[in-house]
Amino acid sequence: MTYFIVFLAVLSRFAPHAPNFSPVYGALLFGGARLKDRDSVWFPVALLAVSDLILTLMVYRMQLDWSELIGCLGFASVALIGRWLRKRISVQTVMAASLAGPTAFFFISNFGVWLGWRMYPPTWAGLLACYVAALPFFRNSLLSGLLYSGLLFGAYEIYRRKFAASALRDSTAHAG
């Protein structure tokens, strides 16, 4: 079930949405926290890498370059933050991770833009200009991270509790 939830969240990137406002960060955090340990990073990152390939080549008709790997590193950092959540899930820690994940991605991915796209001079001022130019996108990343992480973790917890309560009722009914 958890794998399917992560898959659907990544698939939603293909639906119309505001720039950087999609369930990506929620999917990475949720996958990091709830998938099997061995799959918690590679599975959501692989799904996002494949969706990036499709979006870049077929939808946006852009060329790939080595800086795409830095985007994957950014995705992996968010999944690792989700993995940190694994034994600490609470409203507070999910909210903190929902802010930390997009922030880590922002710093890593925009460093890659600065380094690889040659839109900005290779100076500290150029790096700062790159980060400043990305701030409007960062706002949407933070908002979507909070919203979709809350939805994914909250819905899963409601489902888990309902399923656990139902299983407990069934086992006590059969025991009597």
CA distance 100 to 77: 10
Q: Report domain extents, the chain.
A: 2-171
pLDDT at 175: 57
Structure tokens at 4: 């399917």
Averaged pLDDT, groups of 10, the chain, 176 residues long: 90 91 95 96 94 90 84 96 96 97 97 91 97 96 97 93 74 57
- pLDDT score for 80: 98
Amino acid at 144: S
Q: Find, among 2, 8, 35, 3, the residue nearest to 22 by Cα.
A: 8
Helix, strand, coil shares, percent, the chain, to 5? 80, 0, 20
Q: Quick one: pLDDT at residue 59?
A: 87
- pLDDT at residue 156 in the model: 93
Instruction: State the fold for domain 2-171.
Output: Arp2/3 complex 21 kDa subunit ARPC3 (1.10.1760)
CB of 80 closer than 8 Å to CB of 41: yes
Neighbours of 172 (CB within 10 A): 9
Whose tokens are 């799904």? That residue is 47
Instruction: Answer whether 24's CB lies under 8 Å from 48's CB.
Output: yes
Tokens 């008709």, residue located: 61
Look up tokens 């909210």; give the residue.
95
What value does the CA radius of gyration of the chain take, rounded to a whole number of Å? Answer: 18
